[in-house]
Amino acid sequence: MTVRYEVIGIEGIGEVRPGDDVAALVLAAAARQSTPIAPGDLAVISQKIVSKAEGRLLKLTDVTPSAVAVAMASGLGRDARLVEVILRESRRVVRMDRGVLVTETHHGWVCANAGVDQSNVEADTVALLPEDPDRSAHALRERFSAAAGGEVCVVIADTFGRPWREGLTNIAIGVAGFAPLKSYLGERDPAGRPLQATVLALADELASAAEPVMGKLDRVPAALVRGLVLPPDDGIGSKSLLRDPARDLFR
Amino acid sequence: MTVRYEVIGIEGIGEVRPGDDVAALVLAAAARQSTPIAPGDLAVISQKIVSKAEGRLLKLTDVTPSAVAVAMASGLGRDARLVEVILRESRRVVRMDRGVLVTETHHGWVCANAGVDQSNVEADTVALLPEDPDRSAHALRERFSAAAGGEVCVVIADTFGRPWREGLTNIAIGVAGFAPLKSYLGERDPAGRPLQATVLALADELASAAEPVMGKLDRVPAALVRGLVLPPDDGIGSKSLLRDPARDLFR
């Protein structure tokens, strides 16, 4: 049987504000466009609307930068208040050079600006990553599954850069309902040799698959991935995607 | 109108050997499963079958490792003949530590083992990356477009690891028929602020989208991405995805 699946953008969700019920907004929008969330679906939700609904917004006018942030901002040529916020969201600075600040967030993600973002929010406001994206994903999964009458999986996605290659890709920062890694460990090729390249970051690949239908202008902050069988949940969530720093050659 | 697209695995391509006509094999297999390649499709083709068809195979028994390769292999705990091949395929060593050899290939890709792979080939044989994956992609694109009676785009894909995150993802090493980067430069969010995160690596995201239907055991080395409008071809191909070393903080 041919393996195939579909990716469907969910439009008409509209502007999301602190306290809004993202699950209800996504369910209603999906139903309105005649693609209601169904059992077996993976819902990919933009980090930005989750952060907004959870009130993870900060007014830069309320931020007093520390002396360290002022000094770093001067070297980077950036707003000291923004640098202050980035440092607060980080547990380690990975690279600081040529205007770029790559840090490790409190969750363990390594990314530019600790995921702090100034687009698609009000002036002088920044959006932080959700405090616990796996928890956010689980809460959405419960609501979606109840509405669909069957199991729905959820990925909270954000666009991260990477070394060596131009362009950002959408990746998973929160996962609920399935194991984000797909493993071929122990399997062999037709010649009987153990497979190399044996663990695939399926959750990241599916976040990327969703991106082409998700409007960067925040008009389509959610998508459905429909028709795939995902690896059974191992209860670890997105933390499986974090490389152990002791095994990482690039920190 | 809802934006949606489909990803379809192409099965039954079978074992590919040097000199085989990959375009004919893929076209025939797609037709056999009643999903013939159609105008507007993006065909994602595994690097492995392209390399095999192009004869990019090497018997390790034919390789005499240099003194440098022997010394490096000893430090890495790896086969000196394999290290010799990896070094020949590389123009720079990026990291060499804990058994891992990350290099920059002659194409400019930074990856483990210069893309040299031992799975899904005969014993004692290794597969190298195609010499010029963009050229390979262009040749396939011409054949597919002629057969479909309209423009077909092509990505040659391989699975690469990345720093900081566990699991490999499928990415584009060859691109034909569209611009691999999607840019929002100059666009503004609803609040009038210039968008951050303005360039997306669409070709990589679509290679990733294809992976879940492409069997790692080489039984499904091709997939169709159907229903998306891709950015117009700028003639640069996959080179747009190479970060300028001068702008890269992680070399």
Look at residue A209 in the predicted model and tell me its pLDDT.
Answer: 98
Domain with residues B60-122, CATH architecture: Alpha-Beta Complex (3.90)
Contact flag B98-A251 (C-beta cutoff 8 Å): no
**What's the pLDDT at A197?**
61
Q: Which CATH number applies to B6-56+130-243?
A: 3.30.1330.100
Q: Name every chain B residue with its beta carbon within 8 A of the beta carbon of A220.
A: 3
What average pLDDT does the segment A135-161 reach?
A: 98
- pLDDT given for residue B60 in this prediction: 96
Cα–Cα distance for residue pair B243/B241, rounded to 1 Å: 6
Would you state the pLDDT for residue B65?
A: 98
Q: Is the pLDDT of residue A59 over 60?
A: yes
Q: pLDDT value at position B105?
A: 97
Q: Residue B218's pLDDT is what?
A: 57
Interchain contact, A208 vs B213, CB within 8 Å: no
Q: Could you report the predicted ipTM of this complex, rounded to two decimals?
A: 0.96
Q: How far apart are CA B28 and CA B19, in angstroms?
A: 17
Query: Quick check: B186 pLDDT over 80?
Result: no
Contact assignment for B211 to A200 by CB distance below 8 Å: yes
When the pLDDT of each residue in chain B is averaged and rounded to a whole number, the result is 94
Mean pLDDT of all residues in chain A? 94
Q: A39-48, A157-166, A189-198, B183-192: lowest mean pLDDT where?
A: A189-198
At A120 the pLDDT is 78
Query: Using CA atoms in the order A37, A174, A167, B10, what is the torsion angle rounded to 10 degrees?
Result: -50
Query: What is the domain partition of chain A in residue ranges?
Result: 6-55+130-243, 58-127
pLDDT for A217: 60
Instruction: Please identify, in words, the CATH class of the domain defined by A58-127.
Output: alpha beta
For domain A6-55+130-243, the question of CATH label 3.40.30.10 is answered with: no
> Chain B contacts of A196, Cβ < 8 Å?
117-119
Instruction: Give the gap in angstroms from C-alpha B65 to the nearest C-alpha of chain A.
Output: 22
Chain A partners within 8 Å of B181 (Cβ): 166-167
B229 lies within 8 A of chain A by CB: no
Q: Residue A218 in contact with residue B188, Cβ under 8 Å?
A: no
Span B187-200, mean pLDDT?
Answer: 75
Whether the pLDDT of residue A187 is over 80: the answer is no
Q: Which long-range contacts (CB under 8 A, 24 or more apart) does A37-40 make?
A: A37/A144, A37/A147, A37/A148, A37/A152, A37/A224, A38/A148, A38/A150, A38/A152, A38/A226, A39/A145, A39/A148, A39/A149, A39/A150, A39/A151, A39/A152, A40/A150, A40/A151, A40/A152, A40/A226, A40/A227
B233 contacts B134 by C-beta, under 8 angstroms: no
User: Is the pLDDT score of B144 beyond 70?
Assistant: yes
Instruction: Give mean pLDDT, residues B47-63.
Output: 97
pLDDT at B191 over 80: no
What is the per-residue pLDDT across B96-123, written as a single tens digit (0 to 9) for each?
A: 988 889 999 999 999 999 999 988 788 8
Query: How many other CB atoms are there within 10 angstroms of residue A43's CB atom?
Result: 28
Contact B140, B206 (CB under 8 A): no
Instruction: Return the residue in B1, B3, B44, B193 with the most chain A beta carbons within 10 A, the one to mutate for interface testing.
Output: B3
Please tell me the total number of residues recorded for chain B in this structure: 251
CB proximity under 8 Å: A 15-54 to B: 15, 33, 35
The structure tokens listed for A186 are: 């122990």
Secondary structure letter of residue A62 according to DSSP: G
Q: How far apart are CA B236 and CA B172, in angstroms?
A: 14
pLDDT at B209: 98
Chain B residues in contact with A110 (beta carbon < 8 A) = 163-165
Nearest to A156 by CA among A178, A137, A131, A181: A137
Q: Are A41 and A226 in contact (CB under 8 A)?
A: yes
pLDDT at B251: 80
